[in-house]
Amino acid sequence: MTDAPADLLDRTAALVAVRSESFEEQSLADLVEQELRSLPHLVVDRVGDNVVARTDLGRPLRVVLGGHTDTVPANGNEVPRLDGDVLWGLGAADMKGGLAVMLELARRHEDPAVDVTYVFYAREEVAASESGLLELERERPDLLVGDAAVLGEPTDGSVEAGCQGVLRLRVTMAGARAHAARAWMGRNAIHRLGRLLAILEDYEPRQPVILGCQFHEALLATHVEGGVAGNVVPDRATADVVHRFAPDRDLEQAEAHVREVLAPVIEDGDTIEVLDRSPAAWPALEHPVVSTLVRRHGLDVRAKLGWTDVARFTEWGVPAINLGPGRATLAHTAEERVERASLERTWAVLDDLLAHGPDQT
């Protein structure tokens, strides 16, 4: 095992100092591209603000290491601050610490035991339709080919396997307008919406265990809207509903489940519109790359309850896991930070993989 680089925390701080909120990743992409092109053992391609670097050594196994370059909007934490072994700042955990590890791995492994593809992609923190990873898939799908993938989402150096899918829907309840003084002559759509919200409040989510990982589903309203004026019975009310579902259901099964749950309050004239949908990903724990990492390093393994791009790689036939420095619970908060020990844990696992490969292929 190669000793952890002494400057991983400083390297992360340098990346945090480059603003890269979604749609503003060009400067960071320029920096990443410049560094990768300085390494003669890598073939480097750029598609928009996405940068991909690859070894081409003819190894029997190719591992993809991926990470997004964008962050959410700043919250007074855009300037990095080092406090001993802790780096505070926007993107420190999600996921410039992971990017720093990837860049250092790319620099130090000129002759890895496996071929490696390093994927630095834009616009992960916004709507799926804007994803830089999907841009790569459309323009250069050959750059995403691999036998297994590790995404540097913050897991504090543990393995978060698979991910839950996401289904976003808009439910519109119909009513009939009337003067509020003669409310009985109309039908109040907001009151009807209340019955839908009661169903969601009483919903008992599943918690299936898959390959030893316990997932925890959710079905909830995230936005409601309705009303015409203070003296009018409303004839329309809407609720945006989100369903997080475990990987033992596909998108069609998840949508059918939501419609079944809501069916008791849905009538003619009501509508359910699918706004967005992203599949779940099966835990890739049986793949030799993943099983090797877990066994060699005694890694904790748990389910990924949020959605990540492991789902995309899984769809493309590349088993994937989440493994990176930092804690996911700090992402998107003003207290976002990453610790040196977390960076070094992640480095040790991935450095060992590139130096020695998995136990079997």
Q: Is 202 a catalytic residue?
A: no
Q: Please, where in the chain does CATH 3.30.70.360 lie?
A: 165-278
Say which DSSP state 298 is in.
Answer: T
Angle at 157 between CA 53 and CA 105, to 5 degrees: 25
Note the pLDDT tens digit of each residue in 21-31. Answer: 999 999 999 99
% of the chain at pLDDT higher than 70:
98
CATH architecture of the domain covering 165-278 = 2-Layer Sandwich (3.30)
Q: Which fold has domain 8-162+281-356?
A: Aminopeptidase (3.40.630)
Task: Tell me which of 25, 33, 70, 125 is the catalytic residue.
Answer: 70
Q: Which of 28, 4, 143, 126 is nearest to 72 (CA)?
A: 126
Q: Of residues 90 and 6, which shows the higher confidence score? A: 90
Q: Is 124 a catalytic residue?
A: yes
Radius of gyration of the chain (CA): 23
Note the pLDDT tens digit of each residue in 301-344. Answer: 999 998 999 999 999 999 999 999 999 999 999 999 999 999 99
Q: Please, where in the chain does CATH 3.40.630.10 lie?
A: 8-162+281-356
**Spatial distance between the Cα atoms of 23 and 85, rounded to a whole number of angstroms:** 31
pLDDT exceeds 60 at position 361: no
% of the chain at pLDDT higher than 90:
95
**Longest pairwise C-alpha distance within the chain:** 80
Region 37-63: mean pLDDT is: 98
Note the pLDDT tens digit of each residue in 267-307. Answer: 999 999 999 999 999 999 999 999 999 999 999 999 999 89
pLDDT for the residue numbered 1: 46
Task: Tell me which of 94, 124, 125, 351 is the catalytic residue.
Answer: 124
Q: Which of 345, 361, 344, 356 is nearest to 297 (CA)?
A: 345
**Spatial distance between the Cα atoms of 106 and 314, rounded to a whole number of angstroms:** 24
Region 44-66: mean pLDDT is: 98
pLDDT for the residue numbered 4: 62
**Spatial distance between the Cα atoms of 108 and 136, rounded to a whole number of angstroms:** 26
Region 232-241: mean pLDDT is: 96
Residue with tokens 């748990």: 302
Region 158-179: mean pLDDT is: 96
CA 32, distance to chain mean position in Å, is: 21
Please state, in angstroms and as integers, the Cα–Cα distance from residue 126 to each residue in 51, 62, 198, following that order. Answer: 19, 29, 30
